[in-house]
Amino acid sequence: MALEKLGKALNSALKKLARSKTVDEATIKEVVRDIQRALIQADVNVRLVLQLTKTIEKRALEEEPPAGASKKEHIIQIVYEELTKFLGKEAKPLEIKEKPTVLLTVGIQGSGKTTSVAKLARHLQKRGYKVGVVCSDTWRPGAYYQLKQLLEPYGIEVSGDPEEKDAVKLAYKGVEYFRGKDVDVIIVDSAGRHKEESGLIEEMKQISQAIKPHEVILVIDGTIGQQAYNQALAFKEATPIGSIIVTKLDGSAKGGGALSAVAATGAPIKFIGVGERIDDLEAFDPKRFVSRLLG
Ligand code: GDP
């Protein structure tokens, strides 16, 4: 992962702490400054960084370690806890409750939406669900063939019609088709042609009204870093049933910025994309993520 750089920088801050002879105020402040620098380099919003590191510093200076733990261990625990909270605290897994559960994915072209739909379909199939995928992208006829190519080897059916120009009709027809097919999950991929979030969200609303999805999933490109905040916020305001996939975290030094920006909106990140292959999707769990980041 390209977040390795952030992980390394955070680690070296904590190692400095581990190596220091005494843990006084100056040591704590130095460690906090190193953490600040590491996060800012990963494109985390400066205001968020200051809030986070202020909390870490305050806790590190004021709290007594619990019985059996050293001051150093306790500070490391504080950093771990605060970073986890910073990324959303608890894992919020995707729930498949009803049969069929209908999921609608939206996202700006190039964000990795189509790839993510295929990855998600495969992820659910591996967990025993029968999945149908609907392509309602009327802007990019290639999306339908892309999905078929990615999913047919796994026996996952894709519904679509590259000739049809009405996205709402395509989505509706596809969902109806799979309702008759005894699938557990229907994933609808929508167009991402709008450069403006408003157009994207308007189409999302129309498709949403037609197919009544259980959940709308926004796909955000992790390489945009902290700009992900506005995208996630616009989306969250438009729909009460949102969750987010942040993609391309393997290729971007700004991944920390994107993840923390999305988490700051309160929209749950449920998956992260960590590569171009169909299996490169991970369920997002802040605790596990931070443990791995800190090694
Ligand atoms: P869409 O226009 O949003 O549907 O985007 P696509 O799904 O076609 O993806 C755009 C490009 O991003 C493709 O080259 C994908 O292989 C690539 N991509 C998608 N997700 C990831 C990811 O998690 N990591 C990497 N490295 N590339 C990705």
Q: What is the mean pLDDT of the chain?
A: 93
Q: Is 272 in the pocket of ligand 1 (CB under 6 A)?
A: no
- pLDDT score of 109: 87
Residue 1: is its pLDDT beyond 60? no
Output the pTM of the full model: 0.95
First to last CA, the chain: 13
pLDDT single digits (tens) 241-281: 889 999 999 988 899 999 999 999 999 999 999 999 999 99
**pLDDT tens for residues 211-222?**
999 999 999 999
Q: Quote the pLDDT of residue 195.
A: 56
pLDDT bin (cut points 50, 70, 90) of residue 283 is very high
- Does the complex come out with an ipTM higher than 0.90? yes
pLDDT (tens digit per residue) in 164-185 = 988 999 999 999 999 999 999 9
pLDDT of residue 35: 97
> What gap in Å lies between CA 206 and CA 237, rounded to an integer?
15
Q: Kindly state if the Cβ of 84 falls inside 6 Å of ligand 1.
A: no
Tell whether ligand 1 has an atom less than 6 A from the beta carbon of residue 255: no
User: What is the distance in A from the centroid of ligand 1 to the CA of 113?
Assistant: 7
Average pLDDT over residues 91-119: 95
